[in-house]
Structure 1
Amino acid sequence: MLTAPSPPRQAEPAGDPRRWVMLAVVVCATFMSSLDTFIVNIALPTIESALHASFAQMQLIVAGYTLAFAVLLVTGGRLGDLYGRKRLFLLGTSGFTLFSALCGVAPTASLLILFRIAQGGAAALLVPQVIAFIQVSFPASERPLAFSISAAVGGTASVVGQVIGAWLLVANLFNLGWRAIFLINVPIGIGALLASSALLRESRTTSLHRLDYSGAALLMLALTALIFPLVLGARTGWPLWSQISLALCLPFLLTFLLYEQRVTRQGRLPLISLALLRQRRFLAGLLTNLLANILFAGFLFLLAFYLQIVLRLSPLQASYVFLASSLSFISSSSLSPLFSSRLGKWSLSVAAFLVTLGYLFLLLAALWLVGQWGLLPLVVALCILGSGMGSLVIPLQPKVFAGIAHEDVGAASGMYTTATQAAAALGTAVIGLIFAAFTATYGSAQPAFVLSLLVLTLLSLVLSLTVLPLRS
């Protein structure tokens, strides 16, 4: 497929002798931001009791972070392109650490919501800079491994978030209770801030363009219209406002794309280079990332319900079952470069097959084996699924970003990460809606869980198709 001509690329950067230490520093910040997307879920009942929060406030504690994080990612990436990636990373890390501390000492639910929104906004400034940092600071031969490490750390945080949250609640460090899940970020953030200030080198595009403020506002509007009802609508029975918001999402998005096309024709720098969406590899990678995270978020939602409602495990016991997928994800992530080199262009297809196999085994375990063999069949299925996900999402990033020009890498990073966040909201909302509908129909969570798993299994077959353009 023909692509639009892109601006001249900068020369490949010389490898900085400290680049691997620098990578270790920046992925610490990635770990924090990914962890905080999931860790708060396990503490919601405790927070509700301690702060006397209403149901609506509890929803906003979760949704505020997700929404601010998702809608500002593309803008955060482009700001790094224009004004310096180190500068934006330091600003984001400082803000994230500060607002984590404020979340940890928040005296009321209203203030906690406000600080969570600010925390998500700060995360949106720092996260896109990590991918951009790898793209501009590592020679091409080392980027796949650097991308793999970064993606593995972020993916591990999302998988173990609920486990760490459960452990912190049970340990009750210094009698902090639920506040420890936020305050744990403070020493990590301070360490990452000091180290990155000393180690990172500044990079930005050579362009003198300014930020496309109107484009940023339109994109935020479109993403808010999509993500806000997905996060809150499913929990409140899809009221009228959520339906209207979802209906407006597509017109807002089309308006944004038409505006960006106009900006490009005028010779100005758009928030998103539409040429990126005409690159077959990048578009296929975005779709694969979107679908993989829909499957992953839907799986986490279903499994939490199955373990605690059907099998009647406590939150801590359920978190130990989650460890099966966590450990297999981490193991396959660390082996993914070897896996990719051995299987070559078929590595992503094999990984997608493992994901489907994991869902099929989960179906088998839920239907027949759990009652006879205890939790062992479930653990085996989770290991297969975790291995497939780790082998898929980790090598995906270097393949997607291989052909991105340096001047677009920040915006492309923001688009990729936004797809991840939108998919998490979409997967939870849609699978939650399907699960609720099946529960109402059959009057029991067990058949609803099995039928919802069947939907995820069918979706995983589509995943095998989206990875095909990435084989080259």
Structure 2
Amino acid sequence: MTLSIAATATAPSSRRWLAFAVLLAGAFLPPLDFFIVNVALPSMAQGLQATPAQIEWVISGYAATYAVFLITGGRLGDLFGRRRVFLAGMAGFGMASLICGLAASPAVLIVGRVLQGLSAAAMAPQGLASIHALFPEQERSRALAVYGAALGFAAVLAQVLGGVLIATDLFGLQWRAIFLINLPIVAAVFLVGMPFLPDTRSATPASLDRLGVLLCALTLGLLVVPLVQGRELGWPWWLCLMLLGAPLVAVGFWRHEAALERRGGTPLLSPRLARSPRVLAGLLSALFFYVVSAFFLSFSVYLQGALGATPVATGLMFVPFGVGFLIGPLTTPLAIRCVGRWVPALGMLLEVLGCLVLSAAVGGAASGERPALVPLVLGVGLLGFGQGWALPTLIRSVIDRAPAGSSGMVSGLVNSALQISAALGVAVLGGLFYAVAAPALNPATLAHGFIAALLGIALSLGLAALLALYASAPDRAV
């Protein structure tokens, strides 16, 4: 997530695990808050009288902001010290969570989510970067394993926790509790964890590419805003103009990056990567891969809107995904020994199979009736298991192909590509879900919308699998 690996550690060696535990909170909260909202979306829509497009923004606004500023957050830690940037991000995340929890309108909630994404981009990279500063080489693998497990656990816990918090209606807060629950964690970091936080920074920090960040954010905004709002507003001329402007700004961004690199600067996205088609294929694979974010949105709305499931029951239906996501990485070493470079693509194809199983189960059920439980659980479990196989191996295969000296940049780009994929997945396939389900939004149309979203996810994952195969293929000898 960040460029730096060289840093000066000030934390005493005996306290490195305590320091890492505090920093791990900054890695745990971003995925927790990305996934926890899914179960609460129908309750939010009802409580705030939000439109489908506004509900999509609750997810896309967070993911897009997080994606654009993720690499910048890592560089800020390199420049100004990871302790300072981590605490600033944590404080911002707490304030943004309070805004979300007290939101009286969809607009305020969306603003809070954007601020959450911005704060998450500041605090999340500091934990991963600090592993190299805090731990001797022989302990880094264990620390990285704990880091990865925390991210997986956050994704699993979020679905169930969201359902429980809404169902218990803690202090009459309903869905607001899923955001306000962050405040005790933030307070604990400041009250208990601050003495353990190290002050590390890069010995050779890269300068900030401010214009590059601005152009990247503008490109993504010009793309996501029309895709989310277009269907609901009837595609007015100004949204069409924004969509047409996105590739023009993207070209300007690329030219700026190339000029900056020629001057000896450090661009946000190095044009040198264009000379590495395998790396580009891997990044494109990541862009198609994480559209599974649309599954969490559409499945939650389908369960609660079409089947009348409670928030707790909805959260429990995501458990097979979490279990599969945890088991998948445990079997990855064996899979690599058996099929080698095919693992990322096979993981994605397992997800495609999961989408098809779910589509058949939903399509075979009578309107308003719950599909058979076994194929439902199987389909969701295949999605999680495939993610567990594909995600870490895809990231590793792309980073392994990075040009010399660019592994840190490529690592950040892969993570940003995944978050952009999540934002676009909700914008495009979430929009497809609502387009098919509208205007009736009854059990039959919601089921049809869910099937359409699943087939769109399956198609994207199939393309991602082909790109992953190319990205991991051995170079031909010249």
TM-score, normalising length from structure 2?
A: 0.80
Residue 416 of structure 2: SS of its match in structure 1?
Answer: helix
Residue 275 of structure 1: SS of its match in structure 2?
Answer: helix
1:389 aligns with 2:390: no
| Contact kept in structure 2, 1:284 and 1:470, CA below 8 Å | no
2:423 matched residue in structure 1: 425
1:359 matched residue in structure 2: 355
Distance across 1 between alignment mates of 2:362 and 2:105 = 41
| Contact kept in structure 1, 2:5 and 2:129, CA below 8 Å | no
Q: Which moved more, 1:172-181 or 1:382-391?
A: 172-181
Distance across 2 between alignment mates of 1:47 and 1:460 = 29
From the superposition, tell whether residues 60 and 325 of structure 1 become closer, same or farther in structure 2 (CA, over 3 Å). Answer: closer
For residues 237-316 of structure 1, what are the structure 2 equivalents within 5 Å?
A: 237-280=234-277, 282-294=279-291, 296-316=292-312
1:320 aligns with 2:316: yes
1:4 matched residue in structure 2: none
List alignment gaps of at least 5 residues for structure 1. Answer: 1-6
Distance across 2 between alignment mates of 1:415 and 1:65 = 17
From the superposition, tell whether residues 397 and 195 of structure 1 become closer, same or farther in structure 2 (CA, over 3 Å). Answer: farther
For residues 68-87 of structure 1, what are the structure 2 equivalents within 5 Å?
A: 68-87=65-84
Instruction: Please report how far the alpha carbon of residue 122 of structure 1 lies from its aligned counterpart in structure 2 after TM superposition.
Output: 0.9
Residue identity over aligned pairs, in percent, reads: 36
Q: Which AA in structure 2 matches 1:223?
A: L
Distance across 1 between alignment mates of 2:348 and 2:52 = 38
| Contact kept in structure 1, 2:395 and 2:411, CA below 8 Å | no
1:346 matched residue in structure 2: 342
1:173 aligns with 2:170: yes
| Contact kept in structure 2, 1:152 and 1:390, CA below 8 Å | no
Q: Which moved more, 1:23-32 or 1:395-404?
A: 395-404
Q: Which moved more, 1:56-65 or 1:345-354?
A: 56-65
1:332 aligns with 2:321: no
Q: Which AA in structure 2 matches 1:346?
A: W
The one-character-per-residue Cα deviations of 1:394-439 (angstroms, maximum 9, x if unpaired) are: 3333443346689866654443332222211211222234345555
Q: Which moved more, 1:356-365 or 1:385-394?
A: 356-365
From the superposition, tell whether residues 44 and 444 of structure 1 become closer, same or farther in structure 2 (CA, over 3 Å). Answer: closer
Which residue of 203, 213, 218 corresponds with 1:216? Answer: 213
1:3 matched residue in structure 2: none
Q: Which AA in structure 2 matches 1:74?
A: I
From the superposition, tell whether residues 227 and 162 of structure 1 become closer, same or farther in structure 2 (CA, over 3 Å). Answer: farther
For residues 135-214 of structure 1, what are the structure 2 equivalents within 5 Å?
A: 147=144, 149-158=146-155, 160-192=157-189, 194-195=192-193, 198-200=196-198, 202-207=200-205, 210-214=207-211
The one-character-per-residue Cα deviations of 1:276-329 (angstroms, maximum 9, x if unpaired) are: 4544554343223222201x1232233234323444433432222122212221
| Contact kept in structure 2, 1:97 and 1:186, CA below 8 Å | yes
| Contact kept in structure 2, 1:71 and 1:418, CA below 8 Å | yes
Residue 129 of structure 2: SS of its match in structure 1?
Answer: helix
Distance across 2 between alignment mates of 1:53 and 1:65 = 17
From the superposition, tell whether residues 156 and 71 of structure 1 become closer, same or farther in structure 2 (CA, over 3 Å). Answer: same
Distance across 1 between alignment mates of 2:433 and 2:467 = 25
1:415 aligns with 2:417: no
Residue 318 of structure 2: SS of its match in structure 1?
Answer: helix
The one-character-per-residue Cα deviations of 1:143-175 (angstroms, maximum 9, x if unpaired) are: 666555544533553455343222111112233
Q: Which moved more, 1:25-34 or 1:451-460?
A: 451-460
| Contact kept in structure 1, 2:31 and 2:151, CA below 8 Å | yes
Q: Which AA in structure 2 matches 1:458?
A: L
2:376 matched residue in structure 1: 378
Q: Which moved more, 1:382-391 or 1:335-344?
A: 335-344
| Contact kept in structure 1, 2:38 and 2:297, CA below 8 Å | no
List alignment gaps of at least 5 residues for structure 2. Answer: none
| Contact kept in structure 1, 2:286 and 2:464, CA below 8 Å | no
| Contact kept in structure 1, 2:162 and 2:315, CA below 8 Å | no
Q: Which AA in structure 1 matches 2:288?
A: L
Instruction: Please report how far the alpha carbon of residue 393 of structure 1 lies from its aligned counterpart in structure 2 after TM superposition.
Output: 0.9
Residue 31 of structure 2: SS of its match in structure 1?
Answer: helix
Q: Which moved more, 1:452-461 or 1:211-220?
A: 452-461
From the superposition, tell whether residues 48 and 195 of structure 1 become closer, same or farther in structure 2 (CA, over 3 Å). Answer: same
From the superposition, tell whether residues 340 and 434 of structure 1 become closer, same or farther in structure 2 (CA, over 3 Å). Answer: same
| Contact kept in structure 1, 2:44 and 2:50, CA below 8 Å | yes
1:118 matched residue in structure 2: 115
2:464 matched residue in structure 1: 463
From the superposition, tell whether residues 417 and 229 of structure 1 become closer, same or farther in structure 2 (CA, over 3 Å). Answer: farther
The one-character-per-residue Cα deviations of 1:169-193 (angstroms, maximum 9, x if unpaired) are: 1112233333321221122223445
Q: Which moved more, 1:436-445 or 1:147-156?
A: 436-445
Distance across 1 between alignment mates of 2:325 and 2:65 = 27
Q: Which AA in structure 1 matches 2:352?
A: T
Instruction: Please report how far the alpha carbon of residue 92 of structure 1 lies from its aligned counterpart in structure 2 after TM superposition.
Output: 1.2
Q: Which AA in structure 1 matches 2:79?
A: L
The one-character-per-residue Cα deviations of 1:99-158 (angstroms, maximum 9, x if unpaired) are: 323443456666554443322211111223344344666677876665555445335534
TM-score, normalising length from structure 1?
A: 0.81
| Contact kept in structure 2, 1:132 and 1:410, CA below 8 Å | no
Q: Which moved more, 1:393-402 or 1:118-127?
A: 393-402
| Contact kept in structure 2, 1:35 and 1:161, CA below 8 Å | yes
Q: Which moved more, 1:272-281 or 1:459-468?
A: 272-281
From the superposition, tell whether residues 342 and 147 of structure 1 become closer, same or farther in structure 2 (CA, over 3 Å). Answer: farther
| Contact kept in structure 2, 1:325 and 1:382, CA below 8 Å | yes
1:65 matched residue in structure 2: 62
Distance across 1 between alignment mates of 2:285 and 2:203 = 28
Instruction: Please report how far the alpha carbon of residue 206 of structure 1 lies from its aligned counterpart in structure 2 after TM superposition.
Output: 1.2
> How large is the Cα RMSD of the aligned pairs?
4.0
Distance across 2 between alignment mates of 1:414 and 1:230 = 25
Q: Which moved more, 1:367-376 or 1:246-255?
A: 367-376
Q: Which AA in structure 1 matches 2:324?
A: S
Residue 268 of structure 1: SS of its match in structure 2?
Answer: coil
Instruction: Please report how far the alpha carbon of residue 342 of structure 1 lies from its aligned counterpart in structure 2 after TM superposition.
Output: 5.9
Distance across 2 between alignment mates of 1:168 and 1:228 = 31
Instruction: Please report how far the alpha carbon of residue 263 of structure 1 lies from its aligned counterpart in structure 2 after TM superposition.
Output: 1.1
Residue 355 of structure 2: SS of its match in structure 1?
Answer: helix
Distance across 2 between alignment mates of 1:312 and 1:52 = 19
Equivalenced residue count is 463
